[in-house]
Amino acid sequence: MSIRVMSRVWDQSQHSGTELLMLLALADFADDDGNSYPAVPTLAAKCRMTPRNANHILVALRASGELQVLLNEGPRGTNRYRIVMGEPLKAASPLKPIAPLKEPSPLKNASSLKPTSRTPEVGFLKPLKPTSDEPSLNHQEPPIAVSTSKSALQAGDGFVKFWDSYPKKVSKSDAQKAFAKLKADAELVDAILLALASQKQSPDWQKDGGKFVPHPATWLNGKRWEDEMPKTPATAAGERKPWEGAR
């Protein structure tokens, strides 16, 4: 780090914001002649920005005349950056374009550039995707909400048959969700419909105009198809006691 070069940047640079920050970062690597050889990703990390943003700022600094970029003139073929604050550019070392970068057209005024952010600048040629800690959404996932439209049900779903058979048609959406939780196969659907047909004939379901018929969702959630049906007088009369023997 050269205190002399850093002082020159503070005193003489016409820039502010991210451009001034980049010059100070270069001065932090520079010798007393203003020469430094940092990699672009290193400068980007030091300035808290993306390498793409760092490249554009280097182009702006070079165009302003405060920075020389000498390609492949550093150790092991690296680029050499020379801060030339208050000095004319040397004719012997003409500036070369930094390949493969292209200068933005038109170049933004230095004072109008925004502070470093994780999102790309508005004037960049190809904006970067904004960084985010949140995982990307999987648009292939099925919707969580259960459709209540009859057209959305498959022919073998079984709910249509259940709904058509159930005497109290209330809270269809809740009933459909309760039915979906059962993941009923054909055998279970048959058992549900058979028990429903029997319970519809019970006195509790028929008295007072079906006042005591439970809501369909309540019936499904309680697995009421497994209830034992009360024996009717005719059924009880038809049963034989073990001691009565054959008639």
Model pLDDT for residues 102-134, shown as the tens digit of each residue: 555 665 554 555 655 565 555 555 555 555 555
pTM over 0.95: no
Question: Tell me: the pLDDT tens digits for 45-92?
Answer: 989 999 999 998 999 999 998 998 998 888 887 899 999 876 544 444
Tell me, what's the pLDDT at 243? Answer: 42
- pLDDT tier, 151 (very low <50, low <70, confident <90, very high otherwise): very low
Query: Mean of the per-residue pLDDT values for the chain?
Result: 75
Tell me, what's the pLDDT at 134? Answer: 52
Q: Report all structural domains of the chain as residue ranges with CATH numbers, in order of start.
A: 3-112 (1.10.10.10), 150-232 (no CATH)
* DSSP string for the chain: --HHHHHHHHHH----HHHHHHHHHHHHH--TTSEE---HHHHHHHTTS-HHHHHHHHHHHHHHTSEEEETT-SGGG--EEEE-TTSPPPTTS-----TT----SSPPPGGGSPPP-SSPPTT-SSPPPPP-SSPPP-TTSPPSSPP--GGGS-TT-SHHHHHHH-S----HHHHHHHHHHHT--HHHHHHHHHHHHHHTTSHHHHGGGTTTPPPHHHHHHTTGGGSPPPPPHHHHHH---TTT---
Question: Tell me: the pLDDT tens digits for 14-26?
Answer: 899 998 999 899 9
